[in-house]
A and B are shown apart, each in its own frame.
Chain A
Amino acid sequence: MADHLDALENQSIFILREAYKKFKNLAMLWSIGKDSTVMLWLARKAFFGSVPLPLVHIDTSYKIPQMIEYRDQKAKEWGLNLVVGQNKKALDEGMNHEMGRIVCCEALKTNGLTAVMEDKNYTGLILGIRRDEEGTRAKERYFSPRDKNFEWNFKDQPPELWDQFKTTFAEGTHIRIHPLLHWTELNVWEYIEREKIPIIDLYFDKGEGKRYRSLGCAPCTGSIESTATTVPEIIEELRNVTTSERSGRAQDQEDTYAMQKLRAKGYM
């Protein structure tokens, strides 16, 4: 009898395989966080140990240093084709969060991503976003088209039924694929526990009574008070929390519609 994690896993594997079959020049976005690391794990399941896709990491240069260390170590260990993207021009011009968090996110993350996609000629991107993260993500599709400017027309999204996805496009369309869309934060941790996925240790308390619940750039990502040092402890903690996962992410709180505005323009 299949349990709920099996059901989530089977669905995600199906989506990953559809993506791989249907699109050429596809890349997977790896933020080093728990979600995209779980997604990477699912890709290895889907392709029986291989990862036949490049993994793109957008390095804003403001990432927490351990993230880069973990990234490079795992890329080597798992034999990944890692592609690192960075908006050097904006960084040279001194872009940082003090110029406005949304402005900064757009320049370093969205535009950094756009540049690497153009450079590598990727026409599709696999991302580990989930519907339960925040409101605009709740309205995403598994296969979500973006126009040539990477913009998301959330008012006119393709219907998606019976796992028949939109896989044919006019020239110039980009596709975003979201294999974890139906997972919750708790599901992700339960799966990490079941599969024993080696997740970055920033998620755990190291005796200071705090840990990260969501990972991003150092200046805009706050830790939460927590003494959870293991995955089961995090699971136990999550069963009883009443704050949202992204409450430590400053850009979300910048404006009522911050996420919608960012995401309509191609933010992850």
Chain B
Amino acid sequence: MKQNGGGPSQELMRLVIVGHVDHGKSTLVGRLLSDTGSLPEGKLQFTKDICDRQGKVFEFAFLLDALEEEQDQGITIDTSQIFFHTDKRHYVIIDAPGHKEFLKNMVTGAASAEGALLLIDAYEGVQEQSRRHGYILKLLGLTQVAVVVNKMDLVDYDPEVFYKIKTEYTEFLTSMGIEPRMFIPVAAKVGENIATPSEKMKWHEGPTVLEMLDQFEKQKPKDHLPFRLPVQDVYKFDERRIIAGRVESGTLNIGDEVVFSPSLKRARVKTIEAWSVPEQPKIATATQSVGITLDEQIFVERGEVASLSEEGPIVSTTFDVNVFWMGSRHFEKGREYTIKLTTEEVECEIVEFKKVIDASTLEPLEGQDYLVKNDVAEVTLRTKRPIAFDLFGTIPETGRFVIVDEYDVCGGGIVTTYSASTDKDKLRDEVRNRDFNWVKSNISSSERAYRNGHQAALVLFVGESGVGKAKLAKSLEEKIFKDNFQSYLLDGRNVRLGVGADLEEEKSREGEPLRRFGEVARLFLDAGHILISTTNVFNQEDHSDIELIIDPCPLIEIHIGDKAPSGDFDGMSLTLSDAKNEKEAVNKIYSYLKEKKILTGHNYSI
């Protein structure tokens, strides 16, 4: 095998060959290998010898079928990858099984391909998997497709047969928005129109299969799209704190300000790290696995997505997707799944099935509210906590995902649309929009924290009325102030008196007072204060809204009373059984704030 004979180009293109079982995929691949001189020496003879020994007629497909079972059954079970080259470039062909049972293997092969050959048997015509595979290619975002009509020798190279298939299948593809590059009539077994133009099908004016492949275009790097770096891990092997990840799109320069979503934490890029390189990189571009250090020690973790401050991803819990299902258990409502999108992993559930489709016919399955293996559906998903993503149409890499059922990857899909459907989504959109457009000061929050000796935080007293929250809040403010820290008591009533004076009764029921309180709090927090509030007017649900508005500053709940905190608030909280001994209670809170590194002390670097 001449591994690199051919042309000067080192360019490698990944191709997948799909189609209905027995339509001749492996034969085509075997023929391509043989006709381009890409087989290892002796491989052809070796395979022929095995066939002799086993009493079988040699077929080109056997060149690929390494697994004993595959040769016994005469069908490809798993995808296999074969390297070959033309004068133009190198190829990896992924031979994907056409049997319905092995759809997940076909998907595995097709997901990483840049171009596809879809095979249709001239004698059998368009079959179930021809359509299913066409649909899956579209879902995977693979639209560079050429259709190869194989086994023309079985229909006496009759152009009528070819044109009939071409018409029927073109109609199918265009209904999904795929424009096939070309239809090529071939006979892979005897090599017609594979590497050399067929003498028997002079009526075909288009290219051979090899010529077609050379016309496929390489995927362009996504450098021009908005910058996305999903955090893969954070390393502290030495004095450096390196945020590692792969740039999925866009470019990043040293000194750029990055914002992490969903947390909205931000910092500037100090260095782009690399080991054993001629010189340290100054720029990171799409597809690179990189590591960056930041000018501030902010806490970010795997699953967050870094973007530039002007163009962030969407953050939500609810969005619409197209899903294909490969699991033997149905995909259904009421069950919990895990969605893996970029480096984020979170539990999710189905809100509703918008449309369930039989992927072999594209017929909608009316009234069916579950998805079976090998079919596809349009679904609304809800995740347990907000995640950062883009629409597949905007940035494919951050708009696609897999679904894990228990231990297994059982589904794959793309995010098609998003519109804020709940009040929470709307509020989050508003907050993110405000944050991305915020005019930033030259002073960073960590500089303020260093000067102040504490982080900005909101301390919220919660408990039945009459337990002494107000008194305690005032004492806490005073104690913190006397230690030369910036504390401020922000009572909900004070906000309502001034900032909320224009609010009418009706409006005040729609969460507007809460929003205003949150935004005022946000200003104080941006200024670096420890903000203390006793407000009783908001319920637990509202606290998570306040948390959302002031993100990424922490909200610390202080519960007074025996009643355990309700709701699913998972931030910092401290429960005190009573506030009778005021001094003791204040000291406890004070210690808690130290313990949580809110109060760090002056001249202390956080």
Contacts and interface: CB of A to CB of B under 8 A. Distances in A.
B5 interface: yes
Contacts of B140: 161
Contacts of B408: 158, 166
Contact of A47 (B237, B402, B404, B409): B237
A20 B291 CA distance: 15
A99 interface: no
A40 to B, nearest CB: 12
Contacts of B40: 242-244
A21 B232 contact: yes
A240 B233 contact: no
Interface in A1-50: 2-4, 6-7, 9-11, 13-14, 17-18, 20-21, 41, 44-50
Interface of B: 1-5, 10-12, 40-43, 50, 53, 64-69, 77-83, 92, 104-105, 107-108, 111-112, 140, 221, 232-233, 235, 237-238, 240, 242, 244, 246, 273-276, 285, 287-289, 291, 302, 326, 338, 340, 397, 400-402, 404, 406-409, 412
A2 B275 contact: no
B64 to A, nearest CB: 8
Interface SS majority for chain A: loop
Given A10-B246, A21-B302, A160-B108, A260 B81 contact: no
B1 A242 contact: yes
A20 B338 CA distance: 21
B105 A136 contact: no
A135 B80 contact: yes
- Lowest 9 A-B CB distances belong to which pairs? A135-B66, A161-B111, A159-B104, A242-B41, A13-B289, A50-B237, A138-B80, A164-B402, A244-B40
Contacts of B233: 17, 20-21
A186 B3 contact: yes
A20 B244 CA distance: 12
A11 to B, nearest CB: 8
Contacts of B64: 135
B304 to A, nearest CB: 14
Given A158-B409, A166-B408, A48 B273 contact: yes
Given A135-B67, A184-B83, A240-B5, A164 B12 contact: no
A80 interface: no
A49 B275 CA distance: 6
A40 B83 CA distance: 25
B237 A170 contact: no
Interface string A206-249: 00000000000000000000000000000000111111100000
Task: Give the size range of A's interface with the partner.
Answer: 35 or more
Interface string A147-178: 00000001101111110101011100000000
Nearest to B302: A21
12 contacts: A10-B287, A14-B246, A14-B289, A48-B238, A139-B78, A139-B80, A158-B409, A162-B111, A166-B409, A185-B3, A239-B3, A240-B2
Contact of B401 (A164, A244, A260): A164
Contacts of B232: 14, 17-18, 21
Contacts of A131: 80-81
B108 A161 contact: yes
B220 to A, nearest CB: 11
B108 A242 contact: no
A238 B302 contact: no
A151 B529 CA distance: 60
A186 B402 contact: no
A42 B52 CA distance: 44
B275 A159 contact: no
Nearest to B103: A159
A106 interface: no
